[in-house]
Structure formats: C-alpha cells, structure tokens
A and B are shown apart, each in its own frame.
Chain A
Amino acid sequence: MNHQEPFVFYTERRLVALTGMRARTLAQLVGHLGEISGSSIFYHTHQMYLAHHFETPVFSNDFALWVGGALQQEALGEKLAAVDLLSFTSIRQLREEIIRVIERHMAAGGWQDRECPPGDEFHFCRSKSFIMPTGLEARDPDEFFEILPRVSNLSLFFHFFESRLRLGHATNDFSEWLAGRGETGLAQAIDEADPYIMTLDQFKQRIIMIGKSRS
C-alpha cells in the first residue's frame, strides 16, 4: 500500500463453494484439516461474522461448535473457540494452530473418538470472495473518519479479516494506512481492538470512537 495514495474502501461478496468432504469423527476432522484449502479454513473460522447480525452474538468458529456439539467434546470445543484469530497473519499459521490444539487433546488421552449422530456431519465449505471498490476514498485521516460511518460491514470484513489473513498483510488495512500517514497512535489503537468478540456493527462503532478520541 502506497501511503501517499488515498485509502480506497473495498467491499466483498461471497459465494459458498462446497467440497463434498465431510467428517464424522475427530480423527476425520483433523485429517481433512491438513488437506483442505486455506479458503476452507478461512470460511469456517469467519463465516459467522457475516451470517449473523444479532444483538448478543455467540461467536465461535465452526470447528469448535461442531466438536462441542455434534461430538460432545466440550473441553476441546472450548479450546478451539479460544484460538486467538487475531494473533495470526496467515491462514497457514491458523491451520497449524487448530491442528495442534486437536492433536494435543488427542494425545492427552481420556477421550474416545466417537461418531457424530447421523445428519450432524461436518461439511467442509470454501469461501469464494469477490472483491470490488466501493467508490469511497479518503485522501487524509480526517476524511477517513468522516467516511467511516457510511462504510458497510462487508467492507469492514474485507479490510480486517480477509485482507489480513488471506492476502497476508501484517495488520489490518486501516492501521497500515494510518501508520503510513503518521497516525501511529490511532493505527495502534485500531490494531489492538479485537473484532472477533463483537458484531461488525459494534466493531465499527469502536473504530469510530477511536477516531473521535483523536480530535
């Protein structure tokens, strides 16, 4: 990103692609996790942020929900839900961590690899993302925060989740651009905000508040 360039707000639309791969047991899940595409890992750790828009979200990734629900291995479900998505900047790292958590649990013993009830299988999907400019551009930080309330959740999703994890950026796009404009404090404050524990609506409000603290 050239930091003298304006910030271009992008948005995305998503089509769900199916793999036909399914798991009935924990061993099958972890086996597939090593083989499936990165876009499948991304989909199952992020889809709920776009699919649900409720006041009180119960965010967890699909792996955690399935292990805790269909396999009734609640302890492992909790461990998977606690995987800190914000601490990874690539899908590769995230995949390795999820596999590591499951394998460590399996190695510890004291559990049985039972099959889920029929109809509760885990189905691996992928995310096919279409990225496009919104037409909104900010030339400087003032304009950036002025535009922010008009930016959609899908745009936020792209700049915070997709761009960082799938395009391999070190931080979110907002922080990267603001830091390039000398706004290191704001960049850091946004970088430290955790988008994974609130709805995208709430997260947008959080960033708007960070912007207000500047003036």
Chain B
Amino acid sequence: MAIHLADYEEVAGRETIEELRVLADKVRGRRLQNINSTPVGGGVAEILTRLLPLLRELGIDATWDVIKGDQAFFNVTKAFHNALHGNKETITAGMLEAYRATTQANLEQMNIRGDVVIVHDPQPAGMVELRRSMGRQWVWRCHIDVSNPDRQVWEFLEPYVNQYDAAIFSMPDFAQQLPIAQYMVAPSIDPLADKNRALSPDFVNEVLARYEVDPERPVVTQISRFDRLKDPLGVIAAYRMVKRRHDCQLVLAGGGASDDPEGELVLREVQEAAAGDRDIHILLLPPFSDLEINALVRGSTVVMQKSIREGFGLTVSEALWKKKPVIGGAVGGIKLQVIHGITGFLVHSAEGAARRLAQLLDDPQLRTELGENGHSHVKQNFLLTRHVKDYILVMLALDHPNEDIIRLS
C-alpha cells in the first residue's frame, strides 16, 4: 500500500507536514532529477525510494535515473569508495580510464530533464560534464566520508566535484574545503518503514520468544553487522562486567554477507566469546528481517552501539525513536544522536559502557527520561520529513548562492 504525506502527520506532527507544504510551494513544478548507480540495494536507493513519492506529492517533479556500467566499472568505483574512506588501494591508469569511458558512455545516453540535478556519490560524479553544455543546477550528494581520502583518487575526482554548484554531506566531519557551496543534510529514518513502525506488544513478545529471549527480564541489544569496528567483543565484555550484579540478557543481532570472510571470522570470535552463557543470544538474521529487528529493539531495555569507528550510525536513531536509551561509542555520527546524559551516554571503553549500562539497568526513571528525550531528538532532527525539507531548502539555496539571509514571500 502506498504511503502518503498525510500518513506522516500522526508520527511527525501535523505542523511538520504543513511546513513542508508551505515550503514546497516555493519550488512547485520544478524538476528535480536524481542520478545514482543502482536501482536497488544500498542506502542511497533506499532513501530515494522513500523520498521521491513525498517530493512528488508536494508538487516537485522528482525523478530518478541510474547510470549504466559493467562489472569492470563497478570494481573501479568500489576501489574508489575504499580509497575515499582512507584505505590503501592500488589505482591504475587503466582503472581511471575505465571510469572515464563509462562516464562518457552515460553522458551520451542520459536524458537530463531536471532543473536541478542531484548526483549521488562518486560513481556517477562525472555526469556533471553535461553542465557546461546544458546549464541547469547541479548538486553532488556525497553520502560517504571523504574527509581523509586517498590523495590520488581525490585528485582525480576533485575536478568533477568543483564543477558542481554545490555539494551535500551528511555531517560536518565529512566535508572538504571546496570552492563550491557545501550543505549538510543528515541522513534520516522513515518512521513508517517496517524497521521503525509501531508494533503490537504481542508481536514483540512473539519475536523475543522465537529467539528464546525472556521478555520478563532486562534485555540489552546491539544491532549491527559482525564487524570489528562495531566492537561486538567489547559489548560482551561490558555485559559480563555488569552481569555480576545485574540480571540481564544480551542480544547481538545483525545480517551476514556470504562474500565477507572477515565478517564470518568476527562472528566465530563472537560465538566463542559467548559460549556457555545461555543469556547471550547471537542472531545472524537473514535479509528482509526489518520487522524482527524492530521487535528486538522494542523489546530491549537498553540499546548499545559501541562502535570504534562509524559513518553516521542510523541504528542509533532507530533505537532512540523507539524511546530506548542508547549507549554509544563517541565516534562519527553517533555523537550527533546520543547527547551525553540527555538521550543516552557516550563511552570510550568497555568499562565505560559497563558503568553506564549498570546505571541504566538500575534506574527505570532515567531510562524513561532519556528514552523520551531521544524520541523527541529524532523527531526534531532525523526523520524522513526533515530530509524532505532539507532537499527543498537546498533547491532554494541554489537560487541564492551568496546570501546567508534569504527573504521568501
């Protein structure tokens, strides 16, 4: 069943939806064309799938095109992606040529209809070459952290990036010093998606029972891939420190990727660390388990996201939205979501996590207070409706590149 703007009134607030209608009136009828590299899978495709219907309902002619590329091209862009994250990759002249050739083929085939063209991530970044001949307003929406990129790859991409009218990054830490305008648009969660929508207590209990988690006893949960950067072993260590005096169960749940040998190794280590403790539940969830993940978080007492390194870490907002206090590693976007002592606690070690976990398990009133604050923080800052608003404001900002105060009638 299609979701409409009005459906968000109940969760995001009527005034939020009214605000979107007022703002959208200022860009009504404008054509907003998105270009990315994949129609399904991955965060960008997911967010476009959710954003576009709402933008269209607001009277913005939002469309979405996907560039074409062969496996060789995507191997190159995968290497770019890793190098932009600061990892060492060998980039050959042939790889750069493959990128240029695929870009050229797409330049010849792509029909540019947008008054504003938003190009997502590095894969299609070269599409901006059309700006010279076609005009229009071009925006590079970078979803990844390029603050410490491999120089070779960045120097290859930068001449493309600098041709745009503006760039958008997810948080200030991800930005670069560029000669073009840069805006921040944080990621968002969809409160009506299966991963976040309200669930009946019966369903929550049924899911807990399915995984042999006792709903009558405290549950501590971390939802994440089995990846060292998410520090699952640190979470187990914190749980063990707390468990001596506080009864609780630990759920570590995440998806697995069959092509990720590192992930399998980490999963084995986690299973070994948890061996012999019936209160630790290691759940390797299949794809499309959004409802189960939702239920596990809703059935939790405290949620952890004890990452050592993190991009934005939207799992934190997903937990805060469900009014769960979050103990998070003080890294990346977690710091924007967990406000220390107000929506949860930021920690730097397993010991720190254990101390805060004991405090929260011991104090139901504190849990309620932080949970309410967290919900309100996400409602204000990290819902899909805010994302829609920011895209409209970016469209307006493009018309006023040199003004910091813009008067709209």
What is the CB-to-nearest-CB distance from A57 to chain B, in angstroms, rounded to a whole number?
A: 9
The chain A residue sitting closest to B373, CB to CB, is A54
Given A123-B175, A125-B172: A13 touches B184 (CB 8 Å cut-off): no
B407/A15 in contact, CB under 8 A: no
B396 and A130 contacting across the interface, CB-CB below 8 Å: yes
Residue of A nearest to B176 (CB): A20
List, in ascending order, chain A residues with CB within 8 A of B23's CB.
13
Residues of the A chain whose Cβ atoms lie less than 8 Å from the Cβ of B15: 152
Residue of A nearest to B408 (CB): A132
Chain A residues near B178: list those with CB within 8 A: 20
Collect the chain A residues with CB atoms within 8 Å of residue B175's CB. Answer: 18-20, 123
Tell me which of A19, A38, A53 contacts B376 (CB under 8 A): A53
Contact B182 A18 (CB under 8 A): yes
Report if A128-B408 is in contact (Cβ < 8 Å); known contacts: A15-B394, A20-B178, A53-B376. Answer: no
Count of residues in A whose CB is under 8 Å from the partner chain: 35
On whether A39 and B404 interact (CB within 8 A), knowing A20-B182, A52-B377, the answer reads yes
Q: Which of A109-138 contact B (CB under 8 A)?
A: 119, 121, 123-133
Min CB gap A97→B, angstroms: 21
Taking CB atoms, residues of chain A closer than 8 Å to B176 are 20
A37 within 8 A of B: yes
Residues of B with C-beta under 8 A to A193: none
Residue B314 interfacial (CB < 8 Å): no
**Is B405 within 8 A of A20, CB to CB?**
no
The residues of A that contact B169 with a CB separation of less than 8 Å are: 18
A37 contacts B339, C-beta separation under 8 Å: no
Q: Are B332 and A20 in contact (CB under 8 A)?
A: no
Query: Does chain B have a CB within 8 A of A75?
Result: no
A interface: dominant SS: strand
Q: Does A108 contact B (CB under 8 A)?
A: no
Nearest residue (CB) in B for A163 is: B405
B342 within 8 Å of A by Cβ? yes
Task: Looking at the assembled complex, report how far the CB atom of A68 sits from the nearest CB atom of chain B, in whole angstroms.
Answer: 13
Could you give, for residues 142-165 of chain A, a 1 whenever the CB lies within 8 Å of some chain B CB and a 0 otherwise? 000000000010000000001000
User: B258: CB under 8 A from chain A?
Assistant: no
Q: Which residue of A lies closest to B173 (CB)?
A: A123
The complex places the Cα of A132 from the Cα of B407 at a distance, in Å, of 6
A101 on the B face (CB < 8 A): no
Distance to closest chain A CB from B359 (angstroms) = 18
| A16 adjacent to chain B (CB < 8 Å) | yes
A17 interface residue per 8 A CB criterion: yes
Which residues of B164-179 have CB atoms within 8 Å of chain A's CB atoms? 169, 172-173, 175-178
A21 at the interface (CB under 8 A from B): yes
**Contact of A20 with B177 at beta-carbon distance under 8 Å, contacts A15-B393, A53-B376, A54-B342 already known:** yes
Say how far A147's CB is from chain B's closest CB, in angstroms: 16
B183 near A16 with CB under 8 A, answer yes
Asked if B409 CB lies within 8 Å of chain A CBs, one says: yes
A1 within 8 A of B: no
> Chain A's nearest CB lies how many Å from the CB of B337?
12
Is the pair A15, B404 in contact by a Cβ cutoff of 8 Å? no
Could you give, for residues 199-214 of chain A, a 1 whenever the CB lies within 8 Å of some chain B CB and a 0 otherwise? 0000000000000000
Task: Chain A residues near B397: list those with CB within 8 A.
Answer: 15, 17, 128
Task: Please tell me which one of the listed residues A19, A52, A125, A166 contacts residue B405 in the complex, with CB atoms under 8 A apart.
Answer: A166
A51 contacts the other chain (CB 8 A): yes
**Residue B21, interface by CB 8 Å:** no
- A10-41 contacts to B, CB under 8 A, are 13-21, 37-39
Q: Do the beta carbons of B182 and A13 come within 8 Å of each other?
A: no
Q: Are A129 and B405 in contact (CB under 8 A)?
A: yes
**With A15-B394, A20-B175 given, is the CB distance from A131 to B405 under 8 Å?**
yes
Chain A residue nearest in CB terms to B394: A15
**B387-404: contact bitstring with A at CB < 8 Å (1 yes, 0 no)?**
001100110110000011
Question: Least Cβ distance of B180 to chain A in Å?
Answer: 10
Query: Closest residue to A119 on the B side, CB-wise?
Result: B331
Does A197 belong to the interface (CB within 8 Å)?
Answer: no
Task: Verify B177–A21 contact, CB threshold 8 A.
Answer: yes
Q: How far is the CB of A130 from chain B (nearest CB, A)?
A: 5
A81 CA / B177 CA spacing, docked (Å): 28
Inter-subunit contact B404/A128 (CB<8 Å): yes
A54 to B371, CA, bound (A): 12
**Chain B residue with minimal CB distance to A56?**
B342
Alpha-carbon distance A28/B29, docked complex (angstroms): 45
Whether A16 and B405, one on each chain, are in contact in the complex, defined by CB atoms closer than 8 angstroms, is no
- Binary contact track B369-384/A, C-beta < 8 Å → 1, others 0: 0000100110011000
B 291-319 contacts with A by CB, 8 A: none
Q: How far is the CA of A126 from the CA of B172 in the complex (A)?
A: 10
List 24 A-B residue pairs with CB atoms under 8 Å apart, sorted by A's residue number: A13-B19, A13-B389, A15-B390, A15-B397, A16-B183, A17-B183, A17-B404, A18-B169, A18-B182, A18-B184, A51-B381, A52-B380, A53-B376, A53-B377, A119-B331, A126-B404, A128-B406, A130-B406, A130-B408, A131-B406, A131-B408, A133-B409, A152-B15, A167-B405
* Beyond known contacts A20-B175, A38-B404, A52-B342: 11 more, CB 8 A cutoff: A13-B389, A17-B404, A18-B172, A18-B184, A58-B342, A126-B404, A127-B404, A132-B408, A132-B409, A162-B405, A166-B404
Chain A residues proximal to chain B, CB less than 8 Å:
13-21, 37-39, 51-55, 58, 119, 121, 123-133, 152, 162, 166-167
- Top 4 nearest A-B pairs (CB, nearest first) are A123-B172, A20-B177, A18-B182, A39-B404
| Interface residues, chain B, with chain A CB atoms under 8 Å away | 15, 19, 22-23, 169, 172-173, 175-178, 181-184, 331-332, 339, 342, 373, 376-377, 380-381, 389-390, 393-394, 396-397, 403-409
